[in-house]
Structure 1
Amino acid sequence: MYRRSMSYAAAQASIGDSEFDRDTAITERAGEPGVYDAELSAGWTIIAAVNGGYLLALVGRALSAALPHPDPFTVSAHYLTSSVPGPAVIRTEVVRVGRTLSTGQASLFQFDEHGNEVERIRVLASYGDLAALPDDVRTVAVPPLMPSYENCVGPEAGPAPIPGSSAIVDRLRLRLDPATAGWAVGAPSGKGEMRAWFELADGRDADPLSMLLAVDALPPTAFDLGLVAWTPTVELTTHIRRRPAPGPLRISITTRNLAGGFLEEDAEVWDSTDHLVAQSRQLARALRM
């Protein structure tokens, strides 16, 4: 179980009043229920494209506003075209409302040079109330074995900027397990693993929406396989299992199969009380540079 050290503590932003919340803000259009305007921030880009986890959190916020239940339980997204910083519109649709779960779909659009809408991401999701779930846990899953926060490494550990690093790095506190960070100095392990401590840079504690970002915030496992290249997401499904306790998260991601130019990434997210709070599976392209 992790305890935040005094040297690690920082000025704490609160949920609802943080950079993440401001950059995922949505405004419902007058006279158009379920349609929301948003501004994609350049602060969450990877090279020139907006991070897929940030997009998922933004669309997730719109669905939370459109559906009667507050929390994402399962969110499946297909990424159709690369998003760029700037205006966007999110169109939601309520598919079904039940007693414990409601289901909706949403698409995020941007605009081409002629002003035409271009669909960037399409999402199908079911929402519920995490606070209403029972407390019993029966699992064989165990938290990842990794060093303490102080003994993990940040982006400054490499002799040069980490390949693929970009504006999003400044929005996060990521501390990589040294066993999965050899790629940063030209010595990948070849195991297809990535483990890290994760927190937003302003100290805001995690919540269900920010965990939609967290599952896609680490460097890709392709780096640990020796393939330092862009790995754009094709599809990402995330399951939120419970509300996380305050404090940084531990994220473990593995890839077992890179073939035909595609790889899968299986992620587990653990909170400071050793509870498994989120899981995801992603299919991504492995592009060679």
Structure 2
Amino acid sequence: MSTTYAGSDLQFEKIKSKPGFIAALDQSGGSTPTALHAYGLTDDAWSSDEEMFALVHEMRARIITSPSFTGEHILGAILFENTMDREIEGIPTADFLWEKRNVVPFLKVDKGLADEENGVRVMKPMPGLDDLLKRAVSKHVFGTKMRSVILQANKEGIQAVVDQQFEVAAQIIAAGLVPIVEPEVDIHCPDKAEAETLLHASLTAALDKLPADQVVMLKLTLPTVDDFYADFVKHRRVLKVVALSGGYSRDEADQLLRRNHGVVASFSRALAEGLSAQQTDAEFDATLGKSIQSIFDASMT
């Protein structure tokens, strides 16, 4: 039986073949204060988690409603669960993205990272994942994202990361969503190129085992060797290969991205670089527009 995806054919085709990049707007509990600090807010701006999440939603809503943020340059946006459950201008966030911005909505589904073992940090258990996936489908989300981190070129650890990612991906596909598999190689990994070689081999084996009617997306660290993931760009089981900025500045990430043909950006910090709560709406949109254009241009090689 062929796999049925909850997203529309238009969304599937947009991700597959239209120009643009993925905006990562999915900072969650642990990284939310960092995102707010970068946005120019200090800790005294909130006194509870609820106030903190309300502020970060205001920031994300300001980005999404900005005139520069449209499907002309942006393929999709990755949301945190709390953002999916909120509204923008009275419309559920995922619906606003697609109906008002022509941007395909994704949802971050992992619950953070386990402690380091064998040079990697796999994902923490996700006991409520089935219910979350059902809610995502009901809210018209197209796909999901989940992140693991590779800190060393440890073959056993990297295999554990890939095994877990594809095990959860199967659960996500069964729910009708397209998974973004994200085994991030830390940019400070002392043997980064070797770790990428091991990861490439493990990913190739996992992709080749996928049923013919199933696809995943890959979100990968910009590699040490240019075009190292070129075969994944052309792989029949891969809908799209996207790159994370991984702590690089936007200029650094853009430069590296240009050298990896067919890979598009899925930047978070690099996208929001330079934005602040103190800017006027015109200043905010001008800064965001410049970021979007530079990331779009780097994604078009």
TM-score normalised according to structure 1 size: 0.29
TM-score normalised according to structure 2 size: 0.28
